[in-house]
Amino acid sequence: MTPLPPVEQVRPGLWSIPVPLPMNSLRYVLVYAFETDRGAYLIDAGWNTADAFAALETGLQTAGFAMSDVRGVMVTHIHPDHYGLAGRIRAASDAWISLHPADAALIETRYIDMDDLLPRVRANLERAGAPTEVLDELKNASMPVRPFVDAVTPDVLLEDGDKPDVPGWDLTAIWTPGHSPGHLCFYVPSLEIMLTGDHVLPRITPNVSAHPQSGDNPLGDFLSSLDKVAAYDLTGSMLALPAHEHRFVGLSARTAELRAHHQQRFNEIAAALQDGIETAWEVASRMSWSRSWSGLDHFMRRAALGEAMAHLIAMRNQGIVRDMDGVPVRWELTEQALHA
**Is residue 296, in this structure, part of any structural domain at all?**
yes
Q: What is the pLDDT of residue 2?
A: 74
- CA separation for the pair 219, 206 (Å, rounded): 11
User: Residue 114: pLDDT band by 50, 70, 90 thresholds?
Assistant: confident
C-alpha distances out from residue 322 to 220, 280, 318, 325, Å: 16, 12, 10, 10
Query: Which helix or strand (DSSP H or E) is residue 331 part of?
Result: strand 330-333
Q: What is the CATH number of the domain that holds 18?
A: 3.60.15.10
- CA separation for the pair 308, 261 (Å, rounded): 13
Strands 96-99 and 70-74 come out as parallel
Q: What is the pLDDT of residue 305?
A: 97
Residue 223, helix vs strand vs coil: helix
Closest-CA residue to 71 (of 156, 8, 187)? 156
**Is residue 17, in this structure, part of any structural domain at all?**
yes
- Same-domain pairing of 158 and 282: no
**Is residue 333, in this structure, part of any structural domain at all?**
yes
- Same-domain pairing of 210 and 304: no
- CA separation for the pair 47, 42 (Å, rounded): 14
Residue 16, helix vs strand vs coil: strand
**Is residue 108 a contact partner of residue 213, using CB atoms and an 8 Å limit?**
no
Residue 11, helix vs strand vs coil: strand
User: Residue 228: pLDDT band by 50, 70, 90 thresholds?
Assistant: very high
- Same-domain pairing of 252 and 284: no
HSE-CB of 185 using CA atoms within 13 angstroms: 29
- CA separation for the pair 38, 71 (Å, rounded): 7
Condensed to tens digits (0 to 9), the pLDDT of residues 30-88 reads 999 999 999 999 999 999 999 999 999 999 999 999 999 999 999 999 999 999 999 99
Q: Per-residue b/e over 272-303, b at no fewer than 16 CB within 10 Å?
A: bbeeebbbbbbbbbebeeeeebeebebbbbbb
**Is residue 269, in this structure, part of any structural domain at all?**
no
Q: At what angle do helices 251-274 and 298-317 cross, to 10 degrees?
A: 90
Condensed to tens digits (0 to 9), the pLDDT of residues 127-168 reads 999 999 999 999 998 888 888 999 999 999 999 999 999 999
**Is residue 267, in this structure, part of any structural domain at all?**
no
Q: What is the pLDDT of residue 210?
A: 97
User: Residue 1: pLDDT band by 50, 70, 90 thresholds?
Assistant: low
Residue 55, helix vs strand vs coil: helix
- Same-domain pairing of 245 and 334: no
| ∠ Cα 67 73 76 (to 5°) | 140
- Sequential DSSP letters for 152-180: ---SEEPPTT-----TT---EEEE--SSS
- Same-domain pairing of 52 and 157: yes
**Is residue 41, in this structure, part of any structural domain at all?**
yes
Containing structural domain, residue 215: 8-109+149-258
- Same-domain pairing of 282 and 231: no
- Same-domain pairing of 101 and 174: yes
- Total domain count for the chain? 2
Say if residue 310's pLDDT is above 90: yes
**In the chain, alpha helices (H):** 50-62, 80-83, 86-93, 101-104, 107, 117-128, 135-139, 218-230, 251-274, 280-286, 298-317, 335-338
**Is residue 1, in this structure, part of any structural domain at all?**
no
Q: What is the largest CA-CA distance in the chain?
A: 64
Encoded amino acid at 277, one letter: I
- Same-domain pairing of 64 and 161: yes
- Same-domain pairing of 90 and 168: yes
- Same-domain pairing of 247 and 286: no
- Same-domain pairing of 125 and 206: no
- Same-domain pairing of 133 and 183: no
pLDDT mean across residues, the chain = 95
**Is residue 263, in this structure, part of any structural domain at all?**
no
